[in-house]
Amino acid sequence: MTMNDDEKRTLEHWSNRLTQALQILDLKEENDLILRLAQESSTSVSPSSGPISTFYAGYAAALAATSRHVDPQEAVKTAVEKIMKLSEDGNETGPDSGGWAESGQ
């Protein structure tokens, strides 16, 4: 996703406001990565899957960072990479296609 300088500044400002309001000051913004995830998911799965994918990435990263004491930036990157790999196949295959055997459950 290509952004002009004004849009980047606006997004950075918004991200800073969010991290302050949510008290997650140790999180470095990963806007480009999150936007790429939303775009790729929306394109390969469905238009509505972008926001859902980014929510799940954030939730998974938060769980990893708090329960396993993983670096927050690394947790975000790992979660995004997993979802990006799933979105390559669209909605046709994924961990649910083989049941729970391949999952962490």
Query: What Rg, from alpha-carbon coordinates, does the chain have?
Result: 15
Q: Which residues of 68-101 are buried (b: 16+ CB within 10 A; e: fewer)?
A: eeeebbebbebbbeebbebbeeeeeeeeeeeeee
CB 72 within 8 A of CB 26: yes
CA dist 35 and 40 (Å) reads 9
pLDDT tens digit string along 14-50? 999 999 999 988 778 889 999 999 999 999 999 999 9
Parse the chain into domains and list their residue ranges. 5-92
**The pTM is what?**
0.78
pLDDT tens digit string along 40-78? 999 999 999 999 999 999 999 999 989 988 898 899 999
